[in-house]
Chain A
Amino acid sequence: MQKNSSQATDAVLRGRWVKPLAFMLCLVPFSWLLYAAFNDQLGANPAEALVRSTGDWTLRMLCVVLAVTPLRQWLALPSLGRLRRMLGLFAYFYAALHLLSYAWFDMGFELPELLRDIAKRPFILVGFAAFLLLTALAITSPKAAVRALGGKRWQMLHRAVYLCAGLALLHFFWMRAGKNNFAEVFVYAFIVAGLLLARVAWRLRSRRQAAA
């Protein structure tokens, strides 16, 4: 019964409209920010609001993309895998917007000042490192890159997404440390840890089944 319903859901997810729909959904936060910026809806400090919300959406998209594999495995929905690359690229898109708004609104696009800021402040450095790593993953996202690297090596590289999530969490944690305000940081950390554990649990289960 459960298997049948899984198969039915999987078939639905295979539908032609699923990818375009996911694409549109991923664009909703961006469209809202664009609308809000042009209609004075970002509060008294719009620059800060843009830097923060693009950071928030990067973390959320990272959680979403990390949820794909556990959901696919535990709910038996292989078709979810089709969405993973797009979701990952959207995480990168919001990370790039986050970096862009920081460089633009906070640093006035002054390159020397920006470099000094990155070098001087560990939490910026950590965030920047996460961005560089995400850039490597984004560049190697096309199928041609998978072929060029070979599946094994490509997979090794793309496991670095967990490192990205860790660095992003550390960046967020450090940002909030001055005000001892960790509630939101812990929510994201909890989700990321849960998704990591789900993978470990899946692997243990498969090993046991293989042994049996």
Chain B
Amino acid sequence: MLIRTNDSGFNHPHPSEITPRAAYERRQFMQGLVAGGAAASGALGLLPGVAQAAQGDAGYTLSGKLATLPSMRSKVSGAATMEKLTAYKDATTYNNFYEFGTDKSDPARHAGTLRTRPWKVEVTGLVGKPMTFGIEELLKLSAQEERVYRLRCVEGWSMVIPWIGYSLSELLKRVEPTAAAKYVEFVTLADKATMPFVGSRVLDWPYTEGLRLDEAMHPLTLLSFGMYGEVLPNQNGAPVRLVVPWKYGFKSAKSIVKIVLTDKEPGTAWNKAAKNEYGFYSNVNPDVDHPRWSQATERRIGEDGLFARKRKTLMFNGYEAQVGQLYAGMDLKKYY
């Protein structure tokens, strides 16, 4: 009756499963060519099928539902886990995006109303050069990189997603944060006309999130415009979102319209809603439980069978080597 594996849920790839660097780079190169070609052929209405078949080599096929977003391999350390990717269908139908409803299937059903063009992101506060960027400008601000990150939700499930974007630091450098700037606040869209659940009292809208400036400047902190070779689907935070892979998913604000640099820790939407459950830091930490459930294990969506044991959650979601020093000496039970 009990179906168990011997790995106690701690499933790292065998060396033999890891793609040799040469092959990986070749794939990335091919992928760039194909994505570029797909963009061109898409514009001409030609050969989308060819692009999809070739892209399969990169671990996924384009869904063909959205515009492609060409990208290069990221050189950032830790930016490409080799774990099995979550299926596109699961990553785009199992979402938390409360502006469109609280059920996991609501965002995919309701986010079609979101208008992602025109779109502007205002960057302001304690900066030398406050600026407002149009989305087209933002897309071209730095080279688009593909990064395969683990995503761990505070609810105890996880995915592996190939995001496209560039380090948030690329953007922040342009606006020249002043010496007084210590934190970065992210404000997301709250449009009652297109987001049916804004107006419910579940959260204090608009959804806001925040990072300490050094966290925001960390190369792994990604300003993301796409996933799986294409631009972001609306339910995943189109047209621009944050991805902070060592923190619980809710720290990664979706559909961002404003970024404010401040000298005080900004209030965040979930912290305001339930202070004792969702702290400001919200680093993935198997040793600090959520008040209502353990964070020691997680269920990898679509991969572990119904009867498989859940896998062990890794400190900082497995990015400890990259980000551990940001929290040296901090009591992570207090600053959860």
Q: Does any Cβ of B come within 8 Å of A104's Cβ? A: yes
Contact partner of B104 (CB less than 8 A), chosen from A43, A47, A108, is A43
Q: Please name the residue on chain A nearest to B296 by beta carbon.
A: A113
- Measured between beta carbons, the chain A residues less than 8 angstroms from B290 are 178
Are B94 and A181 in contact (CB-based, < 8 A)?
Answer: no
Are A37 and B202 in contact (CB-based, < 8 A)?
Answer: no
List 8 A-B pairs, Cβ < 8 Å: A43-B105, A45-B157, A105-B307, A106-B310, A177-B274, A178-B274, A178-B277, A179-B273
Task: Give the contacts of A103-161 with B (CB-CB under 8 A).
Answer: 104-106, 108-109, 117, 120-121, 123
Q: Does any Cβ of B come within 8 Å of A175's Cβ? A: yes
Given contacts A43-B104, A117-B294, A179-B202, 20 further A-B pairs with CB under 8 A are A44-B104, A44-B302, A45-B94, A46-B306, A47-B299, A47-B306, A48-B299, A105-B306, A105-B307, A108-B4, A120-B289, A121-B291, A175-B292, A177-B274, A178-B290, A178-B292, A179-B273, A180-B201, A180-B202, A181-B102
Are A44 and B202 in contact (CB-based, < 8 A)?
Answer: no
- Measured between beta carbons, the chain A residues less than 8 angstroms from B203 are 180
Are A181 and B202 in contact (CB-based, < 8 A)?
Answer: yes
Task: Give the contacts of A168-199 with B (CB-CB under 8 A).
Answer: 174-175, 177-181
Contact partner of A43 (CB less than 8 A), chosen from B93, B202, B274, B306, is B93
Q: Please name the residue on chain A nearest to B159 by beta carbon.
A: A44
Interface digits, A35-65 against B, CB 8 Å rule (1 contact, 0 not)?
0010000011111101000000000000000
Most central of B102, B105, B289 by chain A CB within 10 Å: B102
Bin chain B's interface residue count.
20 to 34
Are B104 and A45 in contact (CB-based, < 8 A)?
Answer: yes
Are B293 and A43 in contact (CB-based, < 8 A)?
Answer: no
Alpha-carbon separation in the docked complex, A179 to B309 (Å): 26
Contact partner of A44 (CB less than 8 A), chosen from B93, B102, B201, is B93
Once A43-B94, A43-B104, A44-B94 are accepted as A-B contacts, the answer to whether A121 and B201 lie under 8 Å apart by CB is no
Alpha-carbon separation in the docked complex, A206 to B307 (Å): 54
Q: Please name the residue on chain A nearest to B1 by beta carbon.
A: A109
Are A45 and B299 in contact (CB-based, < 8 A)?
Answer: yes
Q: Does any Cβ of A come within 8 Å of B2's Cβ? A: yes
Q: Please name the residue on chain A nearest to B294 by beta carbon.
A: A117
Alpha-carbon separation in the docked complex, A2 to B277 (Å): 56
Q: Does any Cβ of A come within 8 Å of B171's Cβ? A: no
- Measured between beta carbons, the chain B residues less than 8 angstroms from A108 are 4, 309-310
Are A45 and B292 in contact (CB-based, < 8 A)?
Answer: no
Shortest C-beta distance, B275 to chain A (Å), equals 11
- Measured between beta carbons, the chain A residues less than 8 angstroms from B202 are 179-181
- Measured between beta carbons, the chain A residues less than 8 angstroms from B201 are 180
- Measured between beta carbons, the chain A residues less than 8 angstroms from B104 are 43-45
Once A37-B306, A105-B306 are accepted as A-B contacts, the answer to whether A180 and B293 lie under 8 Å apart by CB is no
- Measured between beta carbons, the chain B residues less than 8 angstroms from A180 are 201-203, 273-274
